[in-house]
Structure 1
Amino acid sequence: MSDTPTTSPPPKLSAVWVIPLLAALIGAWLVYSNLSGKGPTITLTMENAEGITAGKTTVKTRNVQVGLVENVRLSEDLSHTLLTVQMQAGTERMLVEDTQFWIVKPRVDREGISGLSTVLSGAYIELLPGTGGKPPRAYAVSDVPPPQLTGDGLFLTLISDVGSSVDTGDPVNYRNLRVGRVVDTQFDPDEKVFRHQLFIEQPYDVLVTQTSRFWETSGLGFKLGAQGFEAQIGSLESLIGGGVSFAVPDPNMSLGPSAQDGDTFTLYPDQEAARRALYSQTLDYVLMVQGSVRGLRPGAPVEYRGVRVGTVETVAWGFGYEGPSSMQQNPVPVLIRLEPQRQAQRTEVSMSRWRTEIAAMVDGGLRASLQTGNLLTGGLIVTLDFHPDTAPATLEETYRSVPIFPTVDGSGISKIEDQVNTLLTTLNSLPFNDIANNLNHNLDAMTQAAESLDALVANPALNSLPQQAEKTLVALQEVLESWRGDQNSAAFREIQSTLQKLNQMIDRATPVLETLNERPNALIFQDSAAPDPQPRAQ
């Protein structure tokens, strides 16, 4: 038997270990795939989590999902909610300092109805990528979409006083044509003004110039002033939510250079205020009105022979500023503003020339007076016209450093009131009681006369009178017919003989009557005196 040792074959790897190894490799690949497919985790803050559900609410941009809300919790001070959002891979470049988030849900506002797609799917968070900057520790989620600050067009800023009704989403119109929209509205508590940001779309941005003026439009407006009743009706969109309109209010004014991106304009309450703001060069004067100024309102026109040349700025300007005693005898000061640019039809005018020429016109008899602008409303206007018969006057006298424009008593509403008062006084002095008593007495007498007439008409004898008159006329007609038919009767011959004798008598008496008509004393004196006897010669 041999002592040579024998070698055994090496052990083989059991197939049982292949399955766990393969599972480990797949798990590692899944972990790697999951980690590599995830983006950064961010935190969002909201006032409340209405409509937000962890594991369901998504984050989208341009309707593409880029993240998912994984957790919803309250902040430590319980003042707001915190959302933990897992973003997808490749979204890091979207998350910068000016990235904006807002909640998308069904909403009805001035821009219309939006977010209807979320009625069934639920609300989601919209992301607007930023342009740069270091990402913050948390992003705030807004309840409304941010203003759209990108696009082809012109961005402007409007400043308005407190009380403006313009809001984000309102249309911007040029002569009732929608050319843009209000994209943002903010209130400045320091200056106490509103700042509205407008976006004017191309190609309408060329319509905005440095001479353009902006004013509010309410869609439907009514105005009852000295010039009558005015109604303004805008588009349906502005009728529902209001809006902003712009134009060069005076077509005679030059348009000026085009507006630039970021320019600031003033928002005026109406078109007339915008038109007045267009006239930057003005001349101020004061009217010292002796009578009443009832019916005269700020904004009333100042006219020269029917053409508007200015505006009433302030009624009772500084009246009584020296104390109540100064109001007893002093006239009422009215501040007016002449606007030369209305007539010059130019952006710039020579103010020194206008002052000199107006002073010469006043020296020639130009005077101001209050006239009735509208009998229905009782509104007054200021009219300028020449009155050469008035006393001489100049513009050298001033009131609170403003020249006093000479005035005359016009045929305004005060004179009409005086005439009405005189008429009412005359009417009150009439004896209406006596007139009423006499009228009642006359009515009673007329009633009695009517009753007597009714009784007379009802009398049978009066009713038979027409028949008796008819019988008499018939008998007379028969007599005349009998005379006409029987000319040989004795009665007819007697009447004819009488008529012939009457004619003869008239013929004989005619000369006598003519003589008496010429000489009434012919019956006493002879017709002519006898001639004197003439002696005869021997």
Structure 2
Amino acid sequence: MKKNASANPSATVSQTSPFSSVVWLIPLLALITGAWLLIQHVRSTGPEITLYTDNAEGIEVNNTVIKVLNVTVGRVTSIKLRDDEKGVELTAQLSADVKDLMRQDTQFWIVKPRIDQSGITGLNTLVSGAYIAFTPGHSDKNADTFQLADLPPVTAIGQSGLRLRLQSHSDKMLGAGSPVLYGDINVGQVESANFNPRERVVYYQIYINSPNEELIGRDVHFWLQTGLKIEASGGGIKIDSAPLPALISGAIAFAAPAQGKGAAVDNNTEFTLYNSRSELDNLPSERALYYVAFFRQSVRGLAVGAPVEYKGLNIGTVAEVPYFERNDSHQLFANGWVPVRIRLEPARMEINASEQSHQVWQSQIQAAMNKGLVATLASGNLLTGNLYVELSDAPSSQAALRPQTLYRGDTVIGSRSGGLDALQNQLSDLLAKFNKLPLEQTIAELNGSLKELRTLLAQPQTRQLSQELNHTLRELQQTLQGVSPGSPLYSDVQSTLKNLDRTLQDAQPTLRTLKQQPNALIFSPGANDPIPKGVR
């Protein structure tokens, strides 16, 4: 049976536009939103930087943030060991707001609780955790790799000041953050300190806060100031205490000389850092005069920098001790002397006086040496045993030690033993003279005399003589009792003396008359002298 063809329906196909449906608007809007978010993300995302540090203590991925002026501007995204195994490499993503602040001189450091010479800092990180801070740089070149420091830099954003470089040959080294002092005033800090083992030099970079840079000049001197300074001298014990920050970590101090600070300096100007203020004070001047003194006594307690005094005035210092010429110490036991080089400063002798030339002072000192000026070692302090050199022109019977006129090009000044050594020599001479006395013979003679005396006392005649002396003394005592104030003899003597006194008083007029007129007993006192008659 055949089916009817007209019974099958026919399909009608029509084409519609793909944008006519509302369903397609959803992915389109999603695409547009994603593009906009991508653009906003790109616009808000700043540079990615790399930080190098020694360790990652307190730093966590996605938790440790980066701040500037206490505003969060980034976050640590990864932590890994460096390829050269010299520390840790941190990767941080910053916001776009700080992309222009990433310069070659931008400084990063980690903020965490810390106790140092500046006090207690970073206590807020006990709750929030450690974070990374930075200070923008001012270089013209951009950078994306930085070193992460443990300590914050001295300078803050927008702060002005002066940076200086110091060189020190001391075996002491201060750490970053140590104060820089002018007197007892904190005017700056140590930014960095590095030791060069080949040169054996410590290099410092310090920062002087504004406006304290006005104190710095070309002639300013710097020195290390650490802890307590106890100085024992003839004037007593002096204790110089630095401020508390300097007691904890040490400090760098500076001062201008008497003639002024000198011309102004620029950033990164280099200065020499001396070990102490005493080393600075003992620096030789251009007019310094050098002499050599030879001492036979011990120089223990005499150190470089010890004072040289004349009549109590400090006129110089000890430059070198000992001061042997090449191979001269081979004759140490043969000669028995130790050379000491001293330095005299004319400026210390020009008290309220104008400056004189080197030659004038040299002539004056030579004239004094010709008159007997010598050097002796004196005790500066009996407790510490410190010695100093004393110049004296007092005459002495002891000959001055002057083995030669010049020694290593310096004039030799005569020397004598002084202080305790001189006293010891005098005691030795006294004991030597005492030992020369014939004490044994004298003692033997004295013992013989004592024996003879004992023999004499043991004889019967001596004992009888003693009895007779006792009898005589008793009789004398009885006789004296007879003339005592209560005895009759004493009353008779008193009566006789009174009569004699009255007789002398009655004879006084007659004696005066005889004194005035010796012939008064022959002639009348008022008559004229008789005139002899002639011979018939």
TM exceeds 0.5? yes
Q: Which residue number in structure 2 is paired with residue 189 of structure 1?
A: 197
Separation of aligned partners in 1, 2:90 and 2:115: 26
Decide whether aligned partners of structure 1 residues 151 and 348 sit closer, same or farther in structure 2, where only a CA change above 3 A counts: farther
Preserved CA contact (<8 Å) 2:118 2:245: no
Separation of aligned partners in 1, 2:336 and 2:82: 70
- Give the deviation of 1:43 after TM superposition: 2.7
Give the fraction of aligned pairs with identical amino acids, expressed as a percent: 37
Tell me the SS of whatever aligns to 1:91. helix
Decide whether aligned partners of structure 1 residues 367 and 424 sit closer, same or farther in structure 2, where only a CA change above 3 A counts: closer
Preserved CA contact (<8 Å) 1:160 1:267: yes
Q: Which residue number in structure 1 is paired with residue 522 of structure 2?
A: none
Separation of aligned partners in 2, 1:213 and 1:50: 40
Deviations 1:313-356 (A, max 9, x none): 22231179335344322422111011112233799862222222
Matched, 1:172 2:167: no
Which one-letter code corresponds to 1:106 in the other structure?
A: P
Q: How does 1:56-75 map to 2 (within 5 A)?
A: 56-75=63-82
- Give the deviation of 1:194 after TM superposition: 1.1
Separation of aligned partners in 2, 1:195 and 1:226: 37
Q: How does 1:94-493 map to 2 (within 5 A)?
A: 94-132=101-139, 134-135=141-142, 138-148=145-155, 151-225=159-233, 227-248=235-256, 253-261=258-266, 262-277=268-283, 279-318=285-324, 321-322=327-328, 324-344=330-350, 350-387=357-394, 397-407=405-415, 409-418=416-425
Which one-letter code corresponds to 1:92 in the other structure?
A: K
Which one-letter code corresponds to 2:259 in the other structure?
A: S
Q: Which residue number in structure 2 is paired with residue 438 of structure 1?
A: none
Decide whether aligned partners of structure 1 residues 378 and 53 sit closer, same or farther in structure 2, where only a CA change above 3 A counts: closer
Q: Which residue number in structure 1 is paired with residue 5 of structure 2?
A: none
Preserved CA contact (<8 Å) 1:362 1:393: no
- Give the deviation of 1:85 after TM superposition: 1.9
Separation of aligned partners in 1, 2:402 and 2:381: 31
Preserved CA contact (<8 Å) 2:173 2:202: no
Aligned residues: 427
Tell me the SS of whatever aligns to 1:292. coil
Preserved CA contact (<8 Å) 2:48 2:144: no
Decide whether aligned partners of structure 1 residues 16 and 347 sit closer, same or farther in structure 2, where only a CA change above 3 A counts: farther
Q: Which residue number in structure 1 is paired with residue 47 of structure 2?
A: 40
Decide whether aligned partners of structure 1 residues 379 and 416 sit closer, same or farther in structure 2, where only a CA change above 3 A counts: farther
Tell me the SS of whatever aligns to 2:199. coil
Separation of aligned partners in 2, 1:419 and 1:361: 27
Separation of aligned partners in 1, 2:206 and 2:73: 31
Which one-letter code corresponds to 2:206 in the other structure?
A: L
Deviations 1:249-289 (A, max 9, x none): 7xxx3225244134333222322222112745311110022
Tell me the SS of whatever aligns to 2:171. coil
Tell me the SS of whatever aligns to 1:16. helix
- Give the deviation of 1:240 after TM superposition: 2.4
Decide whether aligned partners of structure 1 residues 162 and 410 sit closer, same or farther in structure 2, where only a CA change above 3 A counts: closer
136-145 or 98-107, which deviates more: 136-145
- Give the deviation of 1:117 after TM superposition: 2.0
Separation of aligned partners in 2, 1:166 and 1:76: 32
Separation of aligned partners in 1, 2:25 and 2:148: 51
Separation of aligned partners in 1, 2:425 and 2:402: 31
Separation of aligned partners in 2, 1:396 and 1:415: 23
Preserved CA contact (<8 Å) 1:288 1:332: yes
Q: TM-score, normalised by structure 2?
A: 0.69
Decide whether aligned partners of structure 1 residues 256 and 126 sit closer, same or farther in structure 2, where only a CA change above 3 A counts: closer
Separation of aligned partners in 1, 2:429 and 2:329: 34
Q: TM-score, normalised by structure 1?
A: 0.69
- Give the deviation of 1:132 after TM superposition: 3.0
Which of the residues 43, 53, 59 maps onto 1:52?
59
Preserved CA contact (<8 Å) 1:395 1:405: no
Separation of aligned partners in 2, 1:347 and 1:180: 38
Decide whether aligned partners of structure 1 residues 174 and 295 sit closer, same or farther in structure 2, where only a CA change above 3 A counts: same
Decide whether aligned partners of structure 1 residues 352 and 256 sit closer, same or farther in structure 2, where only a CA change above 3 A counts: farther
Tell me the SS of whatever aligns to 2:155. coil
Which one-letter code corresponds to 1:199 in the other structure?
A: Y
356-365 or 30-39, which deviates more: 356-365
- Give the deviation of 1:310 after TM superposition: 0.4
Separation of aligned partners in 2, 1:184 and 1:281: 37
Separation of aligned partners in 1, 2:341 and 2:308: 11
Q: Which runs of 5+ in 2 are unaligned?
A: 1-13, 440-487, 500-536
Deviations 1:368-391 (A, max 9, x none): 222333344443322223346888
Which one-letter code corresponds to 1:110 in the other structure?
A: Q
Deviations 1:192-248 (A, max 9, x none): 111222223344333334443322222422223455422112222222222122224
Q: Which runs of 5+ in 1 are unaligned?
A: 1-7, 431-498, 511-538
Preserved CA contact (<8 Å) 1:110 1:170: yes
- Give the deviation of 1:421 after TM superposition: 6.4
Which one-letter code corresponds to 2:293 in the other structure?
A: L
Separation of aligned partners in 1, 2:105 and 2:414: 64
Which one-letter code corresponds to 1:60 in the other structure?
A: K
Tell me the SS of whatever aligns to 1:24. helix
Tell me the SS of whatever aligns to 2:126. helix
Separation of aligned partners in 1, 2:365 and 2:385: 29
Q: Which residue number in structure 1 is paired with residue 523 of structure 2?
A: none
9-18 or 50-59, which deviates more: 9-18
Decide whether aligned partners of structure 1 residues 39 and 153 sit closer, same or farther in structure 2, where only a CA change above 3 A counts: closer
Separation of aligned partners in 2, 1:133 and 1:42: 18
Which one-letter code corresponds to 1:300 in the other structure?
A: A
Tell me the SS of whatever aligns to 1:277. coil
- Give the deviation of 1:188 after TM superposition: 2.5
Which one-letter code corresponds to 2:178 in the other structure?
A: D
Separation of aligned partners in 2, 1:348 and 1:92: 63
Provide the alpha-carbon RMSD of the alignment. 3.9
Separation of aligned partners in 2, 1:10 and 1:295: 114
Preserved CA contact (<8 Å) 1:320 1:327: no
- Give the deviation of 1:34 after TM superposition: 1.6
Which one-letter code corresponds to 1:275 in the other structure?
A: D
55-64 or 301-310, which deviates more: 55-64
Preserved CA contact (<8 Å) 1:226 1:377: no
149-158 or 354-363, which deviates more: 149-158
